[in-house]
A and B are shown apart, each in its own frame.
Chain A
Amino acid sequence: MKNRHICLIISLIIPLFIVCGQGGNADPVGLTGGGDDGYIYTDHPEQEEETGKGETSADSLIGSWISVQDTAGPVIYLTFRDDQSYVMQIDIENYPMLHEGRYSTDGNQLILNEGIFIYQIDADMLMMTLDGYVFVFRKVTS
């Protein structure tokens, strides 16, 4: 019974840190612990989005992006404009296909005509996930 009380007290103390601790945007990861994987890596893009640590604001999307696929597939150029319009250009054998439309975001969701993607921006990299497929883009211009 005594042990249960100790656990309960500790469980109550932890949330107090939220008030007492100095907040910060970076992940509290050291070199021997703190990572979401239990160690020192935070290989967890979607969780970062949910907790607001990752960058998923629509403003950061604005600019031109080029695909960095891990297969020898076509190169995709994506341009998001600040008037909520976007252009997607897919180069297949030098015959560009052009898709245009309007985009919107909802949390970590990026809604395009082609589907609803889960997205995350890390520095100059944009990662978009749809049905388990991950598309990675590098920012070309802001």
Chain B
Amino acid sequence: MKKRNRFTLIMILMICTAASLVATESRVGSMGGVGYYIHDNSNIFYFPGTLHYYANQAVAELRAKNADNLYTVGVQMERKPGSIVGVYLNRPIDLPQDILMDVTPDLTLDRVISLLYGGKWNNKNWGVILSYASDKTEDDAFGIQEKESARYIGLCAGLSTSDYDLGFNLELPSAKWEADDDEDKWGGTGIGIHGRYFSTRSSVLKLVGIGNLYFGNTTREIGDAEIGYNRLNIAIGGAALYQLDPKNLVVLAVEAFGRNQDKEEVKDGDEYTYTRTVLPGIYLGVESKLKSWLIGRLGARQVYQSIKEVAKPAQGEEVETMESQSTFAVSFGLGIILGDLQLDAMMNEGILFDGPNFISGQNNTLANRISLTYSFNKPGK
């Protein structure tokens, strides 16, 4: 009897923890965008040390209908105890596309291939991710030999324990356009650091504090002009995670302060600064296991922010504009567990308002975003 109780307890623990171990961008997206504040397999790209929690998974992020170029597919597996390897194809990166287009108009550099590796050090989990993308084209229309090339190298490293996660990332983007004796180029460095700390207050309440810092500095040379572009992001926030019972999780996160500043400066010329200050951003997410195979999610996000733009011409008067706004959105999603496969969907509320096509005639999709996670070699199998 005692043995049977123990077996039952292990089985219950495995079932209850399965939902939190198998999760995706669609999950944290439909919970109000709380990915930084909770454990989720999509954390690995911000905190690579968490890779160990999500070993032996194949993940597909289908971010928009009929747009394969926006899909990401990857897998991570345990090579030997304590050692995880993985690869992700077509992961999105956030580069200033307008600048890239200015230098290399025929190229796109917004997706990377990533190689992942995780290990153990002093009972701590560490992980590294190396990301790479390149694109180039040559054209000799009108008798002019035109060459364009662009490249991105990213390195992300992290350290994780049950109490905290740390992530560091380095980005090295570059682009070049050449035609006969002319050359335009762009390049620079971006450095970021993310951290979060979990404090367990009771059996149901966990508090988490997070901080993000990113600085990027690039220069582009177009003809004789030299244009500097830099970005500074800084943010701090905290959240209360209420695990009301194994089936119900409530997340209330507050971004106490966030600032994004992009500055473009022509050498000996015009200067433009865009500053967005978040004060505060509130993200609320609820996740409930409705049935053994069905999970319901609801999220809300309200962001109070001010946007300041300052244009400083080389000659003439400085122009400054400022506006404050509050924006709000609600999202909901479903998770369906089919054995070792979990499908997470961010639902389109339009279909609830309009009804399916045979009623409304509207072409609403059922889901805006879909994620698939297949878990293999689960313990006990």
Binding site for B on A (CB under 8 A): 3-4, 6-7, 10-11, 14-15, 17-18, 21-41, 43-47, 50-51, 68-72, 94, 106-107, 109, 118, 123, 129, 131-132, 134, 136, 138
Give A37's nearest chain B residue, CB to CB: B25
Q: Which of B11-19, B76-84, B326-334 contacts A (4 or more CB under 8 A)?
A: B326-334
| 22 A-B contacts (beta carbon < 8 Å) | A6-B244, A6-B248, A10-B250, A17-B300, A18-B330, A24-B326, A27-B329, A30-B305, A31-B259, A32-B212, A33-B35, A36-B346, A38-B40, A39-B28, A39-B33, A39-B35, A45-B70, A46-B368, A51-B349, A70-B135, A71-B137, A132-B69
How many A-B residue pairs lie within 8 Å, measured between CB atoms? 209
B37 part of interface (Cβ distance < 8 Å): yes
Check A30–B278 contact: CB distance below 8 A: yes
> Which residue of the partner chain, among A22, A34, A44, contacts B368 with CB atoms under 8 Å?
A44
User: What is the interface size of chain B, counting residues whose CB is below 8 A from a CB of the partner?
Assistant: 83
B42 part of interface (Cβ distance < 8 Å): yes
Task: Mark each residue of chain B from 264 to 302: 1 if its CB lies under 8 Å from any CB of chain A, else 0.
Answer: 000000000000001001011010100000000011111
B161 contact set on A, CB distance < 8 A:
none
Check A37–B35 contact: CB distance below 8 A: yes
Instruction: Compute how far the CA of A65 lies from the CA of B245 in the bound complex, rounded to whole angstroms.
Output: 55
Check A33–B253 contact: CB distance below 8 A: yes
Check B28–A47 contact: CB distance below 8 A: no
Instruction: Compute how far the CA of A45 lies from the CA of B375 in the bound complex, rounded to whole angstroms.
Output: 29
Instruction: Compute how far the CA of A124 lies from the CA of B303 in the bound complex, rounded to whole angstroms.
Output: 26
Q: Which of B101-109, B123-131, B173-181 contacts A (4 or more CB under 8 A)?
A: B101-109
B64 contact set on A, CB distance < 8 A:
44-47
Check B32–A34 contact: CB distance below 8 A: yes
Check B326–A17 contact: CB distance below 8 A: no
Check A69–B67 contact: CB distance below 8 A: no
Instruction: Compute how far the CA of A37 lies from the CA of B348 in the bound complex, rounded to whole angstroms.
Output: 15
> Which residue of the partner chain, among A28, A36, A38, contacts B328 with CB atoms under 8 Å?
A28
A30 contact set on B, CB distance < 8 A:
235, 255, 258, 278, 281, 283, 301, 303, 305
A47 contact set on B, CB distance < 8 A:
64, 346, 348, 368-369
B233 smallest CB distance to A (angstroms): 6
Check A34–B350 contact: CB distance below 8 A: no
Give B31-47 interface residues, CB cut-off 8 Å to A.
31-37, 40, 42, 46
Known contacts A7-B286, A33-B32: A38-B348 contact under CB 8 Å: no
Check A28–B302 contact: CB distance below 8 A: yes
A24 smallest CB distance to B (angstroms): 4
> Which residue of the partner chain, among A3, A11, A31, A107, contacts B212 with CB atoms under 8 Å?
A31
Check B66–A33 contact: CB distance below 8 A: no
Check B260–A31 contact: CB distance below 8 A: yes
Give B224-246 interface residues, CB cut-off 8 Å to A.
233-237, 244-245
Give A45's nearest chain B residue, CB to CB: B64
B80 smallest CB distance to A (angstroms): 31
A104 smallest CB distance to B (angstroms): 14
B378 part of interface (Cβ distance < 8 Å): no
B138 part of interface (Cβ distance < 8 Å): yes
Instruction: Compute how far the CA of A31 lies from the CA of B46 in the bound complex, rounded to whole angstroms.
Output: 13
Instruction: Compute how far the CA of A23 lies from the CA of B106 in the bound complex, rounded to whole angstroms.
Output: 38
Check B348–A50 contact: CB distance below 8 A: yes
| A-B contacts besides A35-B29, A41-B94, 6 pairs, CB < 8 Å | A3-B248, A33-B34, A39-B46, A46-B368, A70-B135, A132-B66
B35 contact set on A, CB distance < 8 A:
33, 35, 37-39
Give A130's nearest chain B residue, CB to CB: B66
Instruction: Compute how far the CA of A6 lies from the CA of B138 in the bound complex, rounded to whole angstroms.
Output: 61
Instruction: Compute how far the CA of A27 lies from the CA of B330 in the bound complex, rounded to whole angstroms.
Output: 11
A61 smallest CB distance to B (angstroms): 19
B162 part of interface (Cβ distance < 8 Å): no
B114 smallest CB distance to A (angstroms): 15
Check A33–B36 contact: CB distance below 8 A: yes
B288 contact set on A, CB distance < 8 A:
7
B106 contact set on A, CB distance < 8 A:
68-70, 72
Give B214's nearest chain A residue, CB to CB: A31
Instruction: Compute how far the CA of A100 lies from the CA of B40 in the bound complex, rounded to whole angstroms.
Output: 50
B2 smallest CB distance to A (angstroms): 29
